[in-house]
Structure 1
Amino acid sequence: MTRRGGRRTAHVPASGAENLRGAGLMVAAMAAFAVEDMFLKAAAASLPVGVVLMLFGLGGSIGFALLARLHGERLWHPAMATRSVGLRAVLEVIGRLGYTLAIAMTPLSSATAILQATPLVVVAGAALVFREKVGWRRWSAVVVGFAGVMVILKPAPGSFAAASLLAVIGMAGFAGRDLATRAAPKELSNRQLGLCGFGVLVPTGAALWAVMGGPAQFSVAALACVAGGTVIGVAAYTGLTAAMRVGDVSIVTPFRYSRLLFGVALGMLIFGERLDTSTVIGSLIVLAAGLYTLTRARKAPV
């Protein structure tokens, strides 16, 4: 069940067409997010992460403000002051701050791999918070998918650097944000939610820069990377928000695994990262688990 206006109402499952549309939006959003990560990682090579985050948030805020006005929407709506939107903003800060630091300090492929734990948290949250039906077969597929992520990470004593924990923090924040998106007031459009999400990144980036310091070398290349990441990020954010509001969370979420493939490919092609056997095997396991989850969901809610 979901909470609407202080009352608990029964959850109405999405139709097959809605779930298919949500899945397509999710895959497109994940591809765009991987490109965004590539741009921001490149920008962080010469700019402090706080500056990158601040400029990214400012550009995204302007982008969503323009989109909102083009659709005749207000830039401020009373629903933006609700508890669910405030919680979403806090989780956005946690997710974005942790993950941006992670992609700046660790290989893009490994940070992307850690992020693949997000769907596991979201599916569990959808079942516990929204009472979506997730039977034992889909839970088993989720567990198998998590095992695939573990194959990629190769957990062992001393395997994780401190910087890798930043990706874990980012993953937890993003999972919470996605669940909060589902609970956000329906009167808020995806563009208004995007404006809220990017707006909180401006003071967050400024605070991070003040704490960590570092000279800002504003080269044309660095600014171009931030601009590219911002444009792609707005498109990705729009797709993700729409996906989480169209289909059932437990069905749409597994397609977030596709980000792993995009992230690893860009890490290899752009940053020269090496793809080992464990990453290949783990990626295939994760992808297979996600596809099986969708297949089972379309046949029966078990």
Structure 2
Amino acid sequence: MTPNARAAALMTLGMAAFACEDALLKLLSRGISIGQLLLMIGFAGMVVFGAWVARSAEGLRWRDLLHRGVLLRNLSEAICGVCFLTALSVGDLSIASAILQALPLLMTLGAALVLGEPVGWRRWSSIIVGLIGVMMIVRPGTDAFQPGSVLALVAVVALAVRDLVTRQLPARIGSGLLTASAFGSMSVAGAVLVLIGGQNMVMPNPVEAGMMAVSLGFGLLGYMTMVIATRIGEIGAIAPFRYSRLVFAIILGVLVFAERPDGWTLAGAAIIAFAGGYAMWREARLRRRPRRAPASSLTRPG
């Protein structure tokens, strides 16, 4: 297999793992509060990644956690965790997952509006088309509207802020520390929901404890395979395979939760996947262009 083929297979495996993680969290939310789930899973993830970072060459640099960019990133991660997990608990898995796929489009939009990066008419068009796809899924003011869709949208915006901030962080701050601190921020958010929101703490039964452990395992598997895939493959080649998460989520939604996505939802999801995949492919192509033709000053971004 070529490096791109291996990367595509790993990315697909990672997206399947993330979809399974979401399905398990949705099942767990039926008997355990959102706050407790975030508290327990976030704490476990922080411990696992923290131990890994401590034993790696990167090491734990506690002072980096006080960097204002890291603080903003962790706040965005906490908001995303609360909103997306709540969206899963009150709405359809397939709808929440479809809205989540708008992240690359919001990243492109944020890079243009906040970071001042040049974005040409092609990517602007993909953003507009993708947002139309989102509205086809959400459909505010109709009987098909789900309140959880708004929470999923807030979660995507929080993820976009997180990723934009990450691009501006100093190179000395490693990804392992960022991941461990992100899990920690979700744990803190869960504790706040439990204490201030009046959410009850319950003792998970053996089945629920096992589901939590498996959910965390799926999350770690998804993270590791995604990182490896982005390191060994070209972004433009593996970008479309990120949207396999949506396919797995729809299948799990139908089989596990008896969801029945209508034609508008499926069409909107397809439009988001197409627009987002094109935006990622276009950005990867533009990043390669200076290396291919460094002397050209007439090429416009697209």
TM-score (norm 1): 0.80
* 1:1-302 paired onto structure 2 within 5 Å: 29-157=14-142, 159-210=144-195, 211-238=197-224, 257-297=243-283, 301-302=301-302
Identity %: 36
SS of residue in 2 equivalent to 1:175: helix
Q: Which moved more, 1:150-159 or 1:186-195?
A: 150-159
Instruction: Please state how far the C-alpha of 1:205 moved relative to its aligned partner.
Output: 0.9
Kindly provide the amino acid, as one letter, of the partner of residue 271 in structure 2.
I
Flag structure 2 segments of 5+ consecutive residues without an equivalent.
287-300
Once residues 129 and 237 of structure 1 are traced to their aligned partners in structure 2, the CA distance between those partners, rounded to angstroms, is 27
Instruction: Please state how far the C-alpha of 1:157 moved relative to its aligned partner.
Output: 4.2
Q: Could you say what the CA RMSD is over the residues aligned between the two structures, in angstroms?
A: 3.3
The 3 A distance-change label for structure 1 pair 194 and 291 is: closer
SS of residue in 2 equivalent to 1:212: coil
Once residues 255 and 19 of structure 2 are traced to their aligned partners in structure 1, the CA distance between those partners, rounded to angstroms, is 12
Over residues 269-289 of structure 1, what are the superposed CA-to-partner deviations in whole Å (9 max), with x where a residue is unaligned?
222211322222222222222
Number of aligned residue pairs: give it: 286
Flag structure 1 segments of 5+ consecutive residues without an equivalent.
1-17
The 3 A distance-change label for structure 1 pair 89 and 212 is: same
Instruction: Please state how far the C-alpha of 1:153 moved relative to its aligned partner.
Output: 2.8
Kindly provide the amino acid, as one letter, of the partner of residue 66 in structure 1.
A
Kindly provide the amino acid, as one letter, of the partner of residue 286 in structure 1.
I
Q: Is the 8 A contact 2:235 2:284 kept in 1?
A: no
Instruction: Please state how far the C-alpha of 1:63 moved relative to its aligned partner.
Output: 1.4
Kindly provide the amino acid, as one letter, of the partner of residue 107 in structure 2.
V
Q: Which moved more, 1:245-254 or 1:277-286?
A: 245-254
Over residues 13-32 of structure 1, what are the superposed CA-to-partner deviations in whole Å (9 max), with x where a residue is unaligned?
xxxxx999998876554433
The 3 A distance-change label for structure 1 pair 50 and 271 is: same
Instruction: Please state how far the C-alpha of 1:296 moved relative to its aligned partner.
Output: 3.9
Kindly provide the amino acid, as one letter, of the partner of residue 279 in structure 2.
T
